[in-house]
């Protein structure tokens, strides 16, 4: 079964290292402009504002970035992760040392904009299938190093996590089958292995209904129906619904996801929500 992430997807040390790496990349040896132009003791107050309608994800990281740069900053979080906000909404207020807040600004916004973009696109997909019993799943199509955060953001948008890593589950795909010669041989090999760590049982990717029949006969726990037409999906549902979990995947878009869900499949996995989600527009406006 797909997993739901903890409230924070990163352990404390992981979060510290992630923020350190992000700030090292952006700041280098120092923010030359702020050091040259802003008095050391000058404070400022600012508000983080949504420039468009979004679903928030990554606010806790933005806060930690600010705290890392200015431990004495006073921060008021107004919108928590998972919340929908409209354009013009104030998401966070902060008062602190001007130099340090200016140094933190871009790193905090980059992370928040990227993760909120994933959550926002995910929520749009979830809305399209909300009238069905189908659940949206993410995939492993993520930016390296961002896997946990991207999958956290999809959950904030209303999706469920598929495999986090390859050791989370057995998913027999076409290349595995080609190496062993048949679906049955691949499933038999999987059953001979210790499958206790698998969150999705033995799942088999099927391109045709004949392959689906072979996988069910060989004892698969779940079918990944890849790039099938809606008519093929309905046939699979008619034959196997309730007997085995059915997951549709491959080329799913915001325009097609509704009709796919209406075929009756249990899950739809979508790479686009992490692979192609645009960053949303969030700004830091300085308050007098």
> What are the residue numbers of the active site?
106, 141, 173, 205, 226
137 φ/ψ angles, rounded to the nearest 5 degrees: -120, 145
Q: What residue spans of the chain are helical by DSSP H?
A: 12-27, 32-37, 59-69, 98-128, 147-157, 174-180, 183-192, 209-218, 230-240, 257-261, 272-275
Per-residue b or e along 26-56, where b marks 16 or more CB atoms closer than 10 Å to that residue's CB: ebeeebeebeeebeeeebbebbbbbeeebbb
Measured distance CA(6)–CA(65) in Å, rounded = 20
164: Cβ–Cβ under 8 A, 6 or more apart, which residues?
3, 140, 147, 148, 151
Burial of 264 (0-12, 13-18, 19+ CB in 10 A): middle
Residue 222 CB neighbours (<10 A):
21
Measured distance CA(108)–CA(114) in Å, rounded = 10
């Amino acid at each position: 079964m797909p997993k739901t992430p903890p409230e924070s997807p990163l352990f404390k040390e992981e979060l510290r290292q992630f923020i350190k790496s992000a700030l090292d990349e952006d700041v280098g040896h120092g923010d030359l402009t702020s050091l040259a132009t802003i008095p050391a003791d000058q404070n400022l107050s600012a508000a983080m504002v949504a420039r468009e309608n979004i679903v928030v994800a990554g606010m806790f990281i933005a806060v930690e970035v600010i705290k890392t740069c200015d431990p004495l900053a006073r921060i008021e979080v107004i919108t928590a992760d998972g919340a929908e906000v409209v354009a013009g909404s104030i998401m966070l207020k902060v008062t602190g040392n001007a130099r340090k807040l200016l140094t933190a600004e871009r790193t905090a916004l980059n992370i928040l904009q990227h993760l909120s973009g994933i959550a926002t696109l995910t929520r749009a997909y979830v809305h399209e299938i909300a009238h069905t019993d189908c659940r949206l799943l993410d995939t492993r199509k993520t930016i390296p190093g961002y896997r946990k955060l991207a999958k956290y953001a999809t959950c904030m948008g209303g999706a469920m996590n598929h495999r986090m890593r390859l050791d989370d589950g057995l998913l027999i795909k076409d290349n595995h089958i080609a190496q062993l010669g048949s679906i049955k041989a691949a499933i038999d090999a999987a059953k001979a292995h210790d499958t206790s760590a698998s969150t999705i049982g033995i799942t088999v990717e099927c391109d045709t209904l004949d392959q689906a029949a072979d996988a069910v006969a060989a004892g698969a726990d779940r079918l990944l129906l890849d790039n099938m037409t809606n008519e093929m999906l309905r046939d699979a549902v008619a034959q196997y619904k309730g007997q085995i979990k059915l997951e549709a995947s491959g080329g799913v878009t915001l325009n097609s996801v509704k009709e796919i869900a209406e075929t009756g499949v249990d899950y739809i996995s979508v790479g686009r929500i992490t692979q192609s989600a645009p960053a949303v527009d969030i700004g830091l406006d300085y308050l007098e």
